[in-house]
Amino acid sequence: MMSRLLSLYSLKYIPFRADVPAEALYVSPAIDAFLRRVELGLAHGGFAMLTGDPGTGKSIALRLLAARLGALTDVVVGTIEHPQSRAGDFYREIGDLFGVPLSTSNRWAGFKALRARWAEHFATTLRRPVLILDEAQETSTPVLNELRILSSKDFDSRQLLCVVFAGDSRLPERLRTAELLPLGSRIRRRLVLDYASRDELLACLDHVLAAAGNPSLMTAELKATLADHSAGNYRVLMNLADELLAAAAERELPRLDEKLFLEIFGAAPRPKSANRKR
């Protein structure tokens, strides 16, 4: 079914799925500026933070960041897969990411070994290792504070690690609490993702269709309709487009148009938040 669909519409891959190649992802100007700031800050380390509601582009930004930093010479990028871990499991995971065997029975030795590995990496490459922590709002307060202490040296005058936090609106709220304010005050680079404008949604559609190999897959009227019914949310936009593509393939339609949208979804009213501006 998949190969038939790709052949029918001359596509390299399904452009509306989450697993598209990183080089084909749409990069908004705000995300591009944030990525460049993080890259330029690798020599200094410290903390960066990316926040936004679901569907505003956090996952895309993190994929782009990991791909961009991973392509640099002598940059080691690690991603925490389980942000809810307690301190012991956190140390095991971070040790595995950076090739340092750790024992929870001797956390002090692990603390020293990690810092020594990061200091050695910086001394030979002049770039800090990078740790990406997604869904950081789920991380416990003790682990976040452990990470703050672990990554700094010489009374906070040297940063051994570059840490990028990503999360929803609960994350900045948590970092304003008394327990986490020392960490929140150390975040140098920030990006708050808002709901996309109509023009940004249209630019995203144009980009993903061209990258997948068929920029004329949709009519201009359908693109506008999808943008108007996506409530400024990239994920909603991709889900709607993906459903239309499946329906069009079933009917072997030559192109996706507004008539198909009305048949599949009906004349639904435009969501009130669709015109939300940044």
Mean pLDDT (whole number) for 80-108: 85
pLDDT grade, residue 124 (50/70/90)?
Answer: confident
Mean pLDDT (whole number) for 183-187: 95
Cβ-in-10-Å burial (0-12, 13-18, 19+) of 193 comes to: buried
2-18 pLDDT per residue, tens: 888 999 999 999 999 99
Q: Which one has a higher pLDDT value, 81 or 220? A: 220
Domain over 29-193 is classified CATH 2.40.160.40: no
198-217 pLDDT per residue, tens: 999 999 999 999 999 999 99
pLDDT grade, residue 257 (50/70/90)?
Answer: very high
Residue 160, pLDDT above cutoff 60: yes
Torsion of CA 190, 126, 144, 97, to 10 degrees: 120
15-64 pLDDT per residue, tens: 999 999 998 999 999 999 999 999 988 878 899 999 999 999 999 999 99
DSSP states of 98-154:
TT----GGGHHHHHHHHHHHHHHHHHHHS---EEEETTGGGS-HHHHHHHHHHTEET
Q: Which one has a higher pLDDT value, 73 or 37? A: 37
Please tell me the predicted confidence (pLDDT) of residue 277. 44
Q: What is the mean pLDDT of the chain?
A: 90
Three-class SS state of 197: coil
Are the C-beta atoms of 135 and 144 separated by less than 8 Å? no
Give the per-residue SS3 of 21-64: CHHHCCCCHHHHHHHHHHHHHHHCCEEEEEEECCCCCHHHHHHH
What share of the chain in percent tops pLDDT 70? 95
Question: Domains of the chain: which residue ranges?
Answer: 2-20+218-275, 29-193
Residue 274, pLDDT above cutoff 60: no
Please tell me the predicted confidence (pLDDT) of residue 81. 87
Residue 128, pLDDT above cutoff 90: no
pLDDT grade, residue 119 (50/70/90)?
Answer: confident
